[in-house]
């Protein structure tokens, strides 16, 4: 029998005498026990005083690189996790969602961390705010890691994915985590956790693990800590009602019950690719993980005329399901996690049956041992009068089909769920999509559209992706996880910073207009990535723009727009005083003014951002450019990106154009 | 005596027999009564069924324009508000902060709404997410208005600003509001509300008003409603503990107690401009609104050696305060709002006095009638051992000075507040600023830096600005308001949208790469703003790039970078296969390919975004451009902005560059 351990303040702690039993979903035999006596205050202290400071010493990119290493390490060591996963009733495909899906989620965060976060300790949130006329007092929002611990309370259904999807953004943010998985599958989570902690890829104190109950932990949290909960609405309500958490404004996010809907578009009649797709999606959501998915389709909403065809087609498809040993590759549906869970689903099925008639499935267990059950399809003829089908979540292979009259009715039915994680709409008609989106978006954390165009690549109604937010309003708990960098921000504090540009530059670890510059003694394009400093700046010579230049450029490029060619017509245009130089002429001349022709550290100009032409340039005007190093970001082993702020001014030092220039610069000469 | 009315479901409701008295802060006489018997369910229904749908019919820009009109209307009718404001103890300057400050906040939201939100019903949050290899399945986050009512519970100290700062983002989001101000200054709020509602600038049902208690309102809310509370921590805790709110995941944001700190930098010694500035800021925060400001400086944290000089200078400055009739222009400090409030402050002062010694101020009331009190400066010699000074907020003209040894100690003391709305740091040393920012940002919603560079334009430690978030972690309530468009998002639901580009374009009301295009039958630059459709697209002819072109461009512009001029050197560069065309040459030729030379609706190219060079172009390659209308936004009476997605491809249809082109296009020919 497995002895599941906790990992607290750097030490493994064996189960205590009060440990709880864990049963195989397949044989119903006890296979493990878990539950340790823990000093939760010491765990918190360890996170706050050891893990947090060590994580905060690393930059976002440092942490992103370690996340990638950690994910690849898990991938290399994942095999034993599959064997454990089968004991929870999960098939091979279910286990892939859990194990490989979790690893992929971590890899996406590693990659987004490198691409979308700076190689620094402070994240700049949004744009500079001009708070004063002369620009001596400006605003910038920053995000910095919270100084406490992130407590993750995970559900039983995806012990690995559930752990990694919370852990990846937390570690990327620079915050240590204390993980408390659901006990019924804690043996899988512990095995995955052990691989991570023994790798020592993240500093000591970054991750701790509670097998069994969390004791007094929640009562010891403060406002620098946070709780991310996934599980039942009842438990969520109990936890979030804690006076201690409320009094201390402890961030609490919940992802709980959800009666997710899938709507078949009126255009998706029998014979269309969308009708078949709809059946496939519904089948997958009923059978995957035996329906124990917070995102599974609980309510199938179909046009009145299509209800019977959907029942027929879906029933035929459900006939093909192979229920059996989860470890066998031919099995397409495994067991529920436990007999207790099956009993719970059956009780809820009874509640639903007062409003809906079973049209597929039996009460008979498909196998003698284990928590297996047959998929169940219910039909509710009068969904307007019904209540339970919109409110009671049977967390198993159960779904209810109901008819709708028109799109507003379909939207009203979807919204009857009172807030869901996801709703899907299978339609090829963009106007159906946009009408339903406006009708139901406010009640849903995610809307999944699928049709013949996207079906080959679509990821499925039920799959939360690291790029997109996961969570939903109302019944779904009102929380939000994932969503790319948004998910990282959940573990950071946003702070509005006000001050002079010089001070903001120091706080934000980036140069900004108005902050002091350092006049380059050497052409900055001759300086390596390492040598260049933030604020290092070059003012070029001036170049006069002649009418000949303008005409020549026009004929050479073919850009003979009248504003450049015809004085009278140009004057009539509200933007121009008369004939003016081409914007691209100015950019090109500016490049000519600041280029350094010979090979050097600057390898390439890869792009340009936020180009704004601010004042027209007429013949006889002259322009010069000022380039200033704004931000540096390492990109490869050999070179990094340098972002330059460029200002073009005329002979009266009026601003002609501003832009951000992106270059790749070698680390060494 | 004023009879303060509620405005419920389109009707004014007089005070009931149970109405509560309102007293003048100056004379202590009763001047008004408020408290109506209200059908709060009818109010909610009115907001949900009348106000919400009418607001959601308008676009963000429609609502922004109305906000501007409303703010200007208030400005034109503000005079009577001043007379009422004086009765609350507010001086003329205090009333300006409240009344004009509120109007300005509304104007900033109106302006940001036009500049930063689309002229549409859906806000696109963040970038497109590439969820599939071939791009047939993509992701985009959108925000749409919540479908219920926003309940605003406001504090007594700024009856106008407090109402408008919550109302502006709510209306901009498209959500109706039910406003419940604090009773002690509800007569000021009601007068301002009356001006707004009688203007009929926003549709019926957009705004309702509760004078007195809110009855059972909070128990009738659901997840599409929200509560934004400003007031005491005790009331906030009572409200947010409501099982109904928790069970229904009703959004609840609180802005409550806060023991804001101001830190004097070690560099800001006597004689520096920063030392004098620090005294000015502290004086202003103690005396403005008689210290009844959630952002006032409660804790003055100074280097050990500077504590006595600060006490001396601040005491001298406090000697100049003119306490008296708030309506008199020479008065620099008015009364507390009521005798009850003064008694509360005095009780808390006693709690503080167990740890800190009074160094300025007396117990004697400066005037016989009214809730006047003298400013109070306390000195706490041992702030590490103290508790009350970090936890007890005396909401009046009271501040405590304490010494720090070094920057980590200063940060630790600031953080002892357990989460504050704001902390200020007066320093001219960027390294002091960045060290303290990293030390205290996570505990603060706002950090205000000031020094000699910014002092002429800085807005003051205590001033929340519409551009910057207002709120703070922990003791401050863990909420967030304002912050520009972030504040609007508090009244919207973020939803992850997944689907084919064609479907995403319809849902997001914008064109995106991969969505269907409409091949232009006429050159799109000959089409007016009104005529142009999203997805309308032009593919230009191809143009070959010759070596002669490259050399010519190099010599003409001066851009003789070796990658364009020297085959061997270019080949050695990791980005180039050999000599390549200049990026700016490609942009210029592209403009030449798609330009329409004669006067027409396209007036100017005003800028360019997200230019990314994706593949080098060598001599002999040819390029062509595809321009597609991505988004249209009205800007003036005569023309609007059209954003074009531009793709440059080579002869093998490989992507050479992509960018977004910004043009201004006339509405008519």
H-only helix segments in B416-500: 430-440, 485-489
The reply to whether residue A442 touches residue B224, judged by beta carbons under 8 angstroms, is: yes
Q: Min CA distance, B483 vs chain A (Å)? A: 8
**ipTM value:** 0.95
Q: What is the dihedral sign for C-alpha A69, A73, A75, A81?
A: negative
SS3 B492: strand
Q: pLDDT by residue (tens digit) across A533-585?
A: 999 999 999 999 999 999 999 999 999 999 999 999 999 999 999 999 999 99
The reply to whether residue A506 touches residue B430, judged by beta carbons under 8 angstroms, is: yes
* pLDDT of A520: 86
- For the segment A618-630, the average pLDDT, to the nearest whole number, is 96
Q: In chain A, what residues touch B507 (CB-CB under 8 Å)?
A: 433-434, 437, 447, 449
**Nearest CB to A583; choose among B430, B492, B605:** B605
The reply to whether residue A437 touches residue B465, judged by beta carbons under 8 angstroms, is: no
Which domain range does residue B419 map to?
261-461
Question: Six-digit token pair at B213?
Answer: 């208690």
Percent of chain A with pLDDT over 70: 100
* pLDDT of B368: 86
The reply to whether residue A141 touches residue B496, judged by beta carbons under 8 angstroms, is: no
Ramachandran angles phi, psi of B207, nearest 5°: -135, 135
Q: In chain B, what residues touch A142 (CB-CB under 8 Å)?
A: 437, 441
Q: Min CA distance, A581 vs chain B (Å)? A: 12
- Indicate which CATH number applies to the domain containing B328: 3.40.309.10
Q: In chain B, whose CA is at the least distance from the CA of A134?
A: B457
The reply to whether residue B557 touches residue A592, judged by beta carbons under 8 angstroms, is: yes
Chain B interface test: which of A265, A499, A563, A590 (most B C-beta within 10 Å):
A499
Whether A371 and A341 have beta carbons less than 8 Å apart is answered as: yes
Q: Is the predicted pLDDT of residue A5 greater than 90, yes or no? A: yes
Answer yes or no: do B386 and B432 share one domain.
yes
- For the segment A635-659, the average pLDDT, to the nearest whole number, is 96
- Compare A363 and B148 and report the one with higher pLDDT: B148
Tell me which H or E stretch contains B92: helix B92-116
SS3 B333: strand
Round to whole Å and give the CA distance between A466 and B344: 50
Answer yes or no: do B442 and B322 share one domain.
yes
Question: Six-digit token pair at B435?
Answer: 């060290």
- For the segment A361-382, the average pLDDT, to the nearest whole number, is 93
Q: Min CA distance, B415 vs chain A (Å)? A: 11
Answer yes or no: do A69 and A214 share one domain.
yes
Instruction: Tell me the β-bridge partners of B648.
Output: B625, B657
User: Does residue A503 belong to any structural domain of this protein?
Assistant: no
Whether A435 and B509 have beta carbons less than 8 Å apart is answered as: no
- For the segment B120-137, the average pLDDT, to the nearest whole number, is 96
At residue A368 the predicted structure's pLDDT band, cuts being 50, 70 and 90, is confident
Q: In chain A, whose CA is at the least distance from the CA of B434?
A: A507
Q: In chain B, what residues touch A59 (CB-CB under 8 Å)?
A: none
DSSP string, B45-69: HHIIIIIHHHHHHS-HHHHHHHHHH
Answer yes or no: do A361 and A266 share one domain.
yes
Are β-strands A423-426 and A261-264 bridged in parallel, bridged antiparallel, or unpaired?
parallel
Q: In chain A, what residues touch B131 (CB-CB under 8 Å)?
A: 457, 459, 465, 467-468
Answer yes or no: do A560 and A622 share one domain.
yes
Q: In chain B, what residues touch A661 (CB-CB under 8 Å)?
A: none
Whether B231 and B256 have beta carbons less than 8 Å apart is answered as: yes
* pLDDT of A669: 82
**Nearest CB to B449; choose among A249, A446, A503:** A503
User: Does residue B479 belong to any structural domain of this protein?
Assistant: no
Round to whole Å and give the CA distance between A388 and B317: 68
- For the segment A65-69, the average pLDDT, to the nearest whole number, is 98
Cβ neighbors of A586 (< 8 A, separation 6 or more) are A545, A613, A617, A623, A648, A656, A657
Q: In chain A, what residues touch B468 (CB-CB under 8 Å)?
A: 129, 131, 139, 141, 496, 498
Question: Six-digit token pair at A324?
Answer: 């059996």
**Nearest CB to B496; choose among A136, A450, A469:** A469
**Nearest CB to B503; choose among A433, A484, A495:** A433
Q: What is the dihedral sign for C-alpha B78, B84, B88, B91?
A: positive
Answer yes or no: do A387 and A283 share one domain.
yes
Residue whose C-alpha is closest to residue A244's, from A216, A219, A217, A214: A219
- For the segment A262-288, the average pLDDT, to the nearest whole number, is 98
SS3 A521: coil
Round to whole Å and give the CA distance between A390 and A374: 22
**Nearest CB to B437; choose among A438, A507, A562:** A507
Q: pLDDT by residue (tens digit) across B364-377?
A: 888 888 999 999 99
Q: In chain B, what residues touch A598 (CB-CB under 8 Å)?
A: 562
User: Does residue B505 belong to any structural domain of this protein?
Assistant: no
Which residue is it, tokens 């050097």? A600
Q: Min CA distance, B310 vs chain A (Å)? A: 22
Tell me which H or E stretch contains A439: helix A430-440
Answer yes or no: do B270 and B405 share one domain.
yes
**Domain end residue (candidates: A446, A461, A476):** A461
Q: Min CA distance, B601 vs chain A (Å)? A: 10
DSSP code for B89: T
Distance linking the first and last C-alpha atoms of chain A: 61
Percent of chain A with pLDDT over 90: 97
The reply to whether residue B474 touches residue A448, judged by beta carbons under 8 angstroms, is: no
The reply to whether residue B561 touches residue A223, judged by beta carbons under 8 angstroms, is: no
Answer yes or no: do B238 and B266 share one domain.
no
Round to whole Å and give the CA distance between A142 and A497: 7
At residue A531 the predicted structure's pLDDT band, cuts being 50, 70 and 90, is very high
The reply to whether residue A451 touches residue B599, judged by beta carbons under 8 angstroms, is: no
Round to whole Å and give the CA distance between B135 and B445: 39
DSSP code for B586: H
Total tally of structural domains belonging to chain B: 3
Strand runs (DSSP E) across A25-159, as ranges? 30-34, 123-130, 138-145, 150-153
* pLDDT of A365: 86
- Indicate which CATH number applies to the domain containing B615: 3.10.129.10
Cβ neighbors of A103 (< 8 A, separation 6 or more) are A71, A74, A75, A78, A164
Q: Min CA distance, B498 vs chain A (Å)? A: 5
Chain B interface test: which of A135, A503, A572 (most B C-beta within 10 Å):
A503
**Domain end residue (candidates: A233, A257, A281):** A257
**Domain end residue (candidates: A229, A257, A285):** A257
Round to whole Å and give the CA distance between B417 and B415: 5
The reply to whether residue B608 touches residue A605, judged by beta carbons under 8 angstroms, is: no
- For B340-364, the three-class secondary structure string (H helix, E strand, C coil) is HHHHHHHHHHHHHHCCCEEEECCCC
Q: In chain A, whose CA is at the least distance from the CA of B662?
A: A612
B143, B274, B294, B380: the catalytic one is B294
User: Does residue A348 belong to any structural domain of this protein?
Assistant: yes
Answer yes or no: do A275 and A308 share one domain.
yes
Q: pLDDT by residue (tens digit) across B430-449?
A: 999 999 999 999 999 999 99
The reply to whether residue A132 touches residue B557, judged by beta carbons under 8 angstroms, is: no
Whether B179 and B494 have beta carbons less than 8 Å apart is answered as: no
User: Does residue A571 belong to any structural domain of this protein?
Assistant: yes
Round to whole Å and give the CA distance between B317 and A138: 28
User: Does residue B508 belong to any structural domain of this protein?
Assistant: no
SS3 A458: coil
Tell me which H or E stretch contains B623: strand B622-634
At residue A607 the predicted structure's pLDDT band, cuts being 50, 70 and 90, is very high
**Nearest CB to A562; choose among B476, B500, B599:** B599
At residue B257 the predicted structure's pLDDT band, cuts being 50, 70 and 90, is confident
Q: pLDDT by residue (tens digit) across A80-130?
A: 999 999 999 999 999 999 999 999 999 999 999 999 999 999 999 999 999
Q: Is the predicted pLDDT of residue B669 greater than 90, yes or no? A: no
User: Does residue A241 belong to any structural domain of this protein?
Assistant: yes
Q: pLDDT by residue (tens digit) across B559-579?
A: 999 999 999 999 999 999 999
Tell me which H or E stretch contains A64: helix A60-76
The reply to whether residue B474 touches residue A223, judged by beta carbons under 8 angstroms, is: yes
* pLDDT of A662: 97
**Nearest CB to A597; choose among B241, B561, B585:** B561
* pLDDT of A257: 86
Q: Is the predicted pLDDT of residue B656 greater than 90, yes or no? A: yes
Instruction: Mean pLDDT check: name the lowest of A171-175, A362-366, A547-551, A571-575.
Output: A362-366
Catalytic-residue membership of B641: no
Round to whole Å and give the CA distance between A82 and B152: 52
Answer yes or no: do A533 and A422 share one domain.
no
Q: What is the dihedral sign for C-alpha B448, B453, B454, B455?
A: positive
Instruction: Tell me the β-bridge partners of B404.
Output: B303
User: Does residue B472 belong to any structural domain of this protein?
Assistant: no
Which residue is it, tokens 């925000």? B143
Whether B205 and B130 have beta carbons less than 8 Å apart is answered as: no
Ramachandran angles phi, psi of A473, nearest 5°: -75, 170
Residue whose C-alpha is closest to residue A2's, from A192, A190, A158: A190
B306 to A65, B311, B386, B398, B652: CA distances (angstroms): 45, 9, 20, 20, 72
- For B526-573, the three-class secondary structure string (H helix, E strand, C coil) is HCCCCCCCCCEEEECCCEECCHHHHHHHHHHHCCCCHHHHCHHHHHHC
Round to whole Å and give the CA distance between A219 and B30: 46
- For the segment B90-106, the average pLDDT, to the nearest whole number, is 97
Q: In chain A, what residues touch B502 (CB-CB under 8 Å)?
A: 430, 453
Q: In chain B, what residues touch A473 (CB-CB under 8 Å)?
A: 223-224, 249, 493
Q: In chain A, what residues touch B434 (CB-CB under 8 Å)?
A: 506-507, 509
- Catalytic residue annotation of A: 255, 294
Q: pLDDT by residue (tens digit) across B348-360?
A: 999 999 999 999 9
**Nearest CB to B591; choose among A444, A509, A584:** A584
Residue whose C-alpha is closest to residue B224's, from A315, A418, A79: A418
Whether A294 and A511 have beta carbons less than 8 Å apart is answered as: no
Q: What is the mean pLDDT of chain A?
A: 96
Q: Is the predicted pLDDT of residue B139 greater than 90, yes or no? A: yes
The reply to whether residue A557 touches residue B447, judged by beta carbons under 8 angstroms, is: no
* pLDDT of B91: 97
Half-sphere exposure of A335 (CA within 13 A, CB side): 31
Chain A interface test: which of B109, B458, B557, B614 (most A C-beta within 10 Å):
B557
Cβ pairs bridging A and B (under 8 Å):
421
Answer yes or no: do B69 and B117 share one domain.
yes
Q: What is the dihedral of CA B101, B106, B111, B116, to 10 degrees?
A: 120
Round to whole Å and give the CA distance between A105 and A82: 18
B190, B255, B536, B641: the catalytic one is B255
Neighbours of B200 (CB within 10 A): 9
The reply to whether residue B607 touches residue A612, judged by beta carbons under 8 angstroms, is: yes
Q: pLDDT by residue (tens digit) across B597-633?
A: 999 999 999 999 999 999 999 999 999 999 999 999 9
The reply to whether residue B506 touches residue A431, judged by beta carbons under 8 angstroms, is: yes
Round to whole Å and give the CA distance between B315 and A10: 53
Answer yes or no: do B288 and B424 share one domain.
yes
């Amino acid at each position: 029998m497995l002895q599941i351990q906790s990992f607290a303040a750097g030490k493994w702690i064996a189960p205590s005498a009060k440990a709880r039993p864990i049963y195989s979903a397949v044989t119903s035999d006890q296979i493990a026990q878990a539950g340790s006596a823990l000093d939760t205050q010491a765990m918190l202290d360890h996170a706050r005083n050891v893990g947090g400071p060590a994580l905060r010493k690393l930059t976002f990119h440092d942490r992103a690189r370690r996340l990638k290493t950690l994910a690849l390490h898990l991938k290399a060591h994942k095999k034993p996790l599959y064997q454990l996963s089968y004991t929870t009733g999960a098939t091979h495909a279910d286990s892939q969602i859990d194990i490989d899906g979790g690893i992929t989620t971590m890899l996406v965060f590693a990659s987004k961390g490198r691409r979308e976060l700076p190689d620094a300790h402070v994240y700049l949130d949004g744009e500079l705010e001009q708070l004063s006329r002369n620009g001596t007092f400006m605003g910038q929002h920053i995000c910095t890691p919270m100084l406490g611990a992130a407590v993750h309370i995970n559900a039983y259904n995806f012990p690995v994915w559930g752990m990694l999807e919370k852990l990846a953004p937390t570690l990327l943010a620079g915050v240590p985590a204390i993980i408390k998985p659901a006990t019924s599958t804690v043996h899988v989570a512990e095995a995955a956790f052990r691989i991570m902690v023994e790798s020592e890829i993240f500093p000591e104190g970054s991750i701790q693990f509670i097998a069994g109950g969390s004791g007094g932990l929640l009562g010891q949290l403060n406002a620098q800590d946070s709780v991310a909960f996934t599980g039942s609405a009842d438990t969520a309500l109990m936890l979030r009602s804690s006076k201690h958490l409320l009094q201390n404004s402890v961030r609490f996010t919940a992802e709980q019950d959800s009666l997710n809907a899938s709507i078949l578009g009126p255009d998706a009649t029998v014979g269309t690719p969308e009708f078949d797709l709809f059946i496939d999606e519904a089948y997958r959501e009923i059978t995957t993980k035996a329906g124990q998915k917070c995102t599974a389709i609980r309510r199938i909403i179909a046009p009145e005329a299509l209800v019977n065809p959907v029942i027929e087609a879906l029933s035929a498809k459900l006939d093909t399901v192979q229920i059996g040993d989860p470890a066998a590759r031919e099995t397409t549906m495994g067991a529920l996690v436990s007999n207790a869970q099956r009993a719970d689903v059956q009780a809820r099925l009874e509640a639903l049956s007062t409003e809906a008639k079973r049209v597929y499935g039996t009460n008979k267990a498909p196998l003698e041992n284990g928590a297996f059950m047959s998929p169940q399809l219910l039909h509710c003829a009068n969904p307007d009068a019904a209540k339970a089908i919109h409110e009671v979540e049977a967390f198993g292979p159960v779904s209810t089909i109901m008819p709708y009259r028109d799109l507003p009715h379909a939207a009203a039915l979807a919204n009857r769920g009172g807030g869901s994680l996801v709703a899907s709409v299978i339609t090829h008609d963009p106007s159906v999509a946009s009408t339903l989106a406006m009708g139901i978006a406010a009640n849903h954390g995610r809307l999944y559209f699928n049709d013949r165009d996207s079906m080959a690549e679509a990821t499925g109604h039920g799959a939360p992706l690291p790029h997109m937010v996961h969570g939903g309003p109302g019944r779904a708990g009102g929380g939000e996880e994932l969503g790319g960098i948004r998910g990282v921000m959940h573990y950071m504090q946003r702070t509005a910073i006000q001050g002079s540009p010089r001070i903001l530059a120091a706080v934000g670890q980036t140069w900004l207009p108005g902050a002091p510059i350092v006049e380059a003694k050497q052409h900055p394009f001759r300086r390596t990535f390492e040598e260049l400093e933030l604020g290092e700046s070059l003012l070029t010579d001036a170049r006069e723009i002649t009418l000949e230049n303008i005409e020549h450029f026009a004929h050479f490029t073919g850009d003979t727009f009248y504003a450049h060619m015809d004085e009278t017509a140009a004057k009539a245009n509200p933007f121009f005083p008369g004939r003016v130089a081409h914007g691209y002429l100015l950019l090109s001349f500016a490049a000519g003014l600041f280029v350094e022709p010979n090979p050097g550290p600057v390898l390439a100009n890869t792009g340009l951002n936020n180009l704004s032409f601010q004042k027209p340039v007429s013949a006889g005007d002259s322009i010069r450019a000022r380039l200033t190093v704004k931000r540096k970001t390492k990109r490869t082993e050999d070179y990094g990106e340098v972002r330059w702020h460029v200002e073009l001014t005329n002979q009266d030092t009026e601003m002609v154009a501003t832009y951000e220039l992106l270059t790749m610069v070698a680390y060494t000469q």
